[in-house]
């Protein structure tokens, strides 16, 4: 499958170009030097000085060339998503067909259903009561408990999506000595920073909601992984009341680590590159077309607010990766993951996928035609002025 975000691919292409240029430049420099020595040898000229001067010019040019070319060693991707909040009901509204919009609503509902403390925090520190704090030209990070729950939910959504993507990517690498499955015990430091991730990945035998629902098994929604040897493993369970269990695993190249830099940022570090995922949410509203709210979501415009959530993903290829020639197939998941998460979270991608501009035009045309057909039923005063007594 073709990818739009070619971080690793572009790096390898540019590095191959640098090697070719280096060889060609060295050959040209050597030939010019030999020719010049033969044609223009000057008695008494310091040969060491010429050698040092030539090498300095040569390597200075190469370093400049590498600096220009290897901007691809660093890559930044910004993805802007949104969610819909009903301020009357104090709940998130699922946006069907929009992966992030559906999941963020489900995650928040599951969290506050299972944990009374989080329910209390959500209801006493409402999103509609919060406002972004502006410092200079920058907006501060989350300022209340509800905003923090949104950030932690978004982090969980991203890591869960990464887990799913990596499982698919490395599906054919079974029992490969160069990859490793990292589990819950490998991210204890991350769990200490993210309460929702800690909650959802806690084994079901340690969660009261699941233990008390043991009698209601027939209504569970389970996702089970079946191995080649026939063994089964529960990877996800959802209760009728909404609580979720998710088995955490990230399949990554060996010698990788996952750590939380701060409450908003998670870093995945591997032998050749690192990926930093930062969630930014400060309570800023975003514009959503009124027709989308009324016709697609079936909500009243005055009852809902749309909020923007930004995700910055920074990928940096380290110097070991710079000089490494083999094993890049274990790291090219970065390219496809960026495409994958953009498809699931990007506001722009979502509206393009449902062809909203065309749908909106069709709705407007339909309403216009409906009004024209309804003119005969509208009252007309003496001057012939039409008065619309009812909403169409």
CA separation for the pair 20, 111 (Å, rounded) = 55
- Residue 117 has a CB neighbour count (10 Å cut-off) of 10
Q: Quick check: 354 and 21 in contact, CB under 8 A?
A: no
Give the residue extent of every domain in the chain: 7-73, 74-353
Predicted confidence band at 326 (pLDDT cuts at 50, 70, 90)?
Answer: confident
pLDDT in tens, 250-261: 999 999 999 999
pLDDT for residue 204 is more than 80: yes
Q: Quick check: 251 and 170 in contact, CB under 8 A?
A: yes
Which has more pLDDT, 53 or 350?
350
Provide mean pLDDT across the span 64-80: 74
Q: Nearest CA to 100 among 357, 275, 308?
A: 308
Q: Quick check: 153 and 311 in contact, CB under 8 A?
A: no
pLDDT for residue 379 is more than 60: no
Spatial CB neighbours of 5, under 8 Å, sequence gap ≥ 6: 75, 77, 335, 338, 339, 342
């Amino acid at each position: 499958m073709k990818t739009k975000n070619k971080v690793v691919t572009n790096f390898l292409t540019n590095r191959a170009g640098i090697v070719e240029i280096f060889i060609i430049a060295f050959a040209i420099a050597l030939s010019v030097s030999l020719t010049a020595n033969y044609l223009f040898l000057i008695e008494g000229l310091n040969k060491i000085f010429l050698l040092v001067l030539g090498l300095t010019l040569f390597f200075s040019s190469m370093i400049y060339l590498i600096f220009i070319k290897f901007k691809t060693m660093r890559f930044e991707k910004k993805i802007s998503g949104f969610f819909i909040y009903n301020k009357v009901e104090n709940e998130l509204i699922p946006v069907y067909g929009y992966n992030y919009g559906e999941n963020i609503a489900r995650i928040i509902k599951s969290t506050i259903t299972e944990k009374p403390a989080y329910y209390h925090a959500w209801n006493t520190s409402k999103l509609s009561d919060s406002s972004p704090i502006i410092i200079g030209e920058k907006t501060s990070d989350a300022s209340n408990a509800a905003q923090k729950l949104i950030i932690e939910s978004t982090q969980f959504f991203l890591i869960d999506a990464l887990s799913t993507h990596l499982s698919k990517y490395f599906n054919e690498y079974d029992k490969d000595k160069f990859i490793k499955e990292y589990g819950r015990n490998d991210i204890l430091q991350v769990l200490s920073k993210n309460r929702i991730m800690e909650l959802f990945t806690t084994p079901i035998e340690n969660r009261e909601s699941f233990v008390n629902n043991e009698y209601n098994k027939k209504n569970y929604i389970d996702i089970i992984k079946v191995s080649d040897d026939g063994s089964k493993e529960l990877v996800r369970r959802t209760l009728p009341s909404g609580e979720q269990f998710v088995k955490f695993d990230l399949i990554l190249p060996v010698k990788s680590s996952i750590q939380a830099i701060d409450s908003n940022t998670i870093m995945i570090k591997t032998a050749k590159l690192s990926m930093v995922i930062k969630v930014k949410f400060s309570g800023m509203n975003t514009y959503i077309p009124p027709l989308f709210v009324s016709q697609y979501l079936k909500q009243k415009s005055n009852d809902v607010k749309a909020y923007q959530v930004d995700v910055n993903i920074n990928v940096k290829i380290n110097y070991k990766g710079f000089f490494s020639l083999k094993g890049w197939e274990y790291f090219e998941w970065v390219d496809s993951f960026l495409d994958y998460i953009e498809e699931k979270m990007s506001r722009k991608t979502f509206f393009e996928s449902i062809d909203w501009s065309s749908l909106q035009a069709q709705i407007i045309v339909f309403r216009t035609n409906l009004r024209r057909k309804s003119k005969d039923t509208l009252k007309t005063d003496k001057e012939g002025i039409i008065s619309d007594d009812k909403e169409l």
